[in-house]
Amino acid sequence: MMTTRRNKAGSALALVLLIALLVWWLWPGEGGPGVDVPNSQVSPPVADVAPRVVAPVAAKAVRDVDEVSDEADEPVVMPADEIEEVEPFVHAICRLEPPLEAAQAYLGVGDPSEFNGRRVVVRDGKAYLPFLEDGEDSGVLTVEGYTPQKISWRAGSPPGTCTPNPVVLTPGRTAVVGRVTHEATGEPAHRAWVEGCGGLSNTGTDGEYYMEVLPGPCQVRAMRQDGMLRTISPPVDVSPAEDADVVVNLSIPGFPRAGLGIAIEMVDEGVLVNGIVEGGAADDSDLAEGDLIVEVDGRSVLDMSLEEFVDRAGGQEGTEVSLVIEADDGRHEIVLARRQLR
């Protein structure tokens, strides 16, 4: 009896850890409140850039940038029976043709010209779409080595299905390629990734990337994870032609991004502080949860997007930013020195 209980406890623990891995791996890419940035997703895995192939490489787990080595991560192949156990936590499942055993995949939600993506697990011929809004929606599913496919789905519990069904994959024909470097030094940004045009790609140790995309006007940008914060390049407008590669070289600041250490949400009246991060710049200030930020460095936040506010609030560690706050005791100014968030 004791052995049976121990086995059941071990199975339960394994399931909890598996669910935690999926949450960590598939955390949404954009949207909603966040910590100094629209979200605090850890960076995609680092992998050397490979030439276009029909058979994609195995999917890899996502790790914090401090844990990523210069070598490609070992592939994580999740057993099919374990995937089935966590299906209640997946909102839709796409059948793929051909039925790939494992692959790296990415889902661009909504308009592919926008930056709103999630990692997708592919296992035994199925793509598991993670943590999406309830109801019917649409986007672009990109499986490495194949042309991005426009799909729609109906989320549910048990998981819904995708349209078309199956999603027929064809070899990639249109791509954005290039190199990501750090500003000023020109050194390769080998712990970065590129997103846009319905696709996502990691940079190799030489800073180069290769990304299958949809043809037509869109934007791409490079990103790097600095602890809890992202360093992001300005978006670049491109218009890839079908059956062709377009070269886009990108640069991002070489210094680690620092911020204010606040969880924020854009509301009609300004930027609402939803929480204070322990050890962040705001942790040692009078800023409190529930305060409303109405100005940053002398500019009203009312005409800013959340991303624009984040861009102004973040910067190099040790530099200062001025905030005007509306609190219960009235309006006042707070000056914070930016800190890295780990």
Kindly indicate the confidence band of residue 330, based on its pLDDT and cuts at 50, 70 and 90: confident
Quote the pLDDT of residue 317: 85
d(CA 255, CA 90): 37
Domain tally for the chain? Answer: 2
Q: Give me 115's structure tokens.
A: 């930056």
Tell me the CATH number at 283. Answer: 2.30.42.10
Among the candidates 254, 277, 301, a domain finishes at 254
| Together in a domain, 192 and 295 | no
| Together in a domain, 309 and 205 | no
The fraction of the chain above a pLDDT of 90, given in percent, is 31
Collect all residues with Cβ–Cβ distance below 8 Å to 44 and sequence separation of at least 6: 62, 119, 193, 200, 202
Q: What is the pTM of this model?
A: 0.61
| Together in a domain, 66 and 203 | yes
Average pLDDT of every residue of the chain: 75
> Residue 235: is its pLDDT beyond 50?
yes
242 inside domain:
yes
Mean pLDDT, residues 280-287: 88
> Residue 26: is its pLDDT beyond 50?
no
Among the candidates 254, 285, 318, a domain finishes at 254
Query: Residue 74 sits in which domain range?
Result: 1-254
Kindly indicate the confidence band of residue 19, based on its pLDDT and cuts at 50, 70 and 90: very low
Quick check: 78 and 97 in contact, CB under 8 A?
A: no
Among the candidates 220, 254, 288, a domain finishes at 254
Quote the pLDDT of residue 292: 94
Bond preceding residue 171 cis, omega within 30 of 0: no
247 inside domain:
yes
d(CA 15, CA 3): 18
Quick check: 282 and 293 in contact, CB under 8 A?
A: no
d(CA 303, CA 271): 11
